[in-house]
Structure 1
């Protein structure tokens, strides 16, 4: 299939075949894709929590408004943001650039100092909103990769973040959950898999100047 055909193939899977598992190779592809997501300033303030343990996922269903995809999917991916973003993250990022590219300090330091000043000028709310927007970029990237690899998925905002954080113990990592993303393979009896995709005509969504 072409990339467009694969994007038409994907849908928000409502019922997963619980006995089917994605391969380790497919899971590794999703991990790499997450890590390669284009993010603001290249600053990676996101983490991906991969939950395979069904006992843990069973506990999350009630905090996800009863959505069974959380437990029936092969794996549950949880996209998280850091609860604190500060100068330490900036220094870590630029130290990594220096180590990988051997870029001298006299070139990096102005950018390092500028980004520190930008982050220092942000309120906690602004930083959280900024990081959350990055999480949606990562989600979009993962959704496309899933379509290409013909892995079914269901992006989910409908959950109680604080409760999910508690079950997963995310506070010890300095993280909070933003999005849930069950991945796996659609069940044969998922009626939504057979429905035609509903989208406006291109003439109504694209403006060419």
Structure 2
């Protein structure tokens, strides 16, 4: 399928085939796609936890308002942000840049100093909102890759992050959950798979100057 055919094929899958599992090579592809997502300043304030344990998926159900995507999916991708995003987080990024690109300190320092100062001036709430926006970028990327690879998915905001964090001990992984992405393969009896895609005409959503 070409890209547009793939995007027309995808929909928010409501029921997955529990007999079909996403293979490891596809999961590795999604891991790398997530890691290659564009983020603000390249700082990657995003993390992903992959749940493939069926017992854990069942335990997640109350936190997800018993939506059946959660316990029928092959895997659940939990997208979130680190628990702490601070000056050291920024400095760690520049250390990584230096180690990979061998960029001289004199070149890195002005931008590093700017970002460190900016983060010092920002509130925790502002930084968390900024980081959460990057999670949505990652979600969009994953949705497209899933469609191209014929993997069904269902982006979800409908869950209780506090309960989910407790069930999965997410603090141990320094992860604040923001979005869920169950993935797998659609069940034959998922009625939503037969519904026509509803989208506005291009002239209502696209402006050309």
Runs (4 or more) in structure 1 with deviation over 6 Å come to none
CA–CA distance in structure 1, aligned partners of residues 49 and 148 of structure 2? 22
Q: Residues 78-117 of structure 1 correspond to what in structure 2 (within 5 A)?
A: 78-117=78-117
Q: Residues 24-63 of structure 1 correspond to what in structure 2 (within 5 A)?
A: 24-63=24-63
8 Å CA contact retained: 1:83, 1:128: no
**What TM-score, normalized to structure 1?**
0.98
SS in 2 for 1:34: helix
Q: Between Structure 1 and Structure 2, how many residues are aligned?
A: 209
8 Å CA contact retained: 1:12, 1:153: yes
- Residue 162 of structure 2 is aligned to residue 162 of structure 1: yes
CA–CA distance in structure 1, aligned partners of residues 87 and 125 of structure 2? 17
Partner of 1:11: 11
CA–CA distance in structure 2, aligned partners of residues 110 and 170 of structure 1? 35
Structure 1: gaps of 5 or more residues: none
Cα deviation, 1:144-201, whole Å, max 9, x if unaligned, reads 0000001000000000000111111111222210000000000000110011100011
Cα deviation, 1:20-72, whole Å, max 9, x if unaligned, reads 00111100000000000000010011110000001111011111011011111
CA–CA distance in structure 1, aligned partners of residues 151 and 11 of structure 2? 10
Partner of 1:177: 177
Structure 2: gaps of 5 or more residues: none
Partner of 1:65: 65
Partner of 1:75: 75
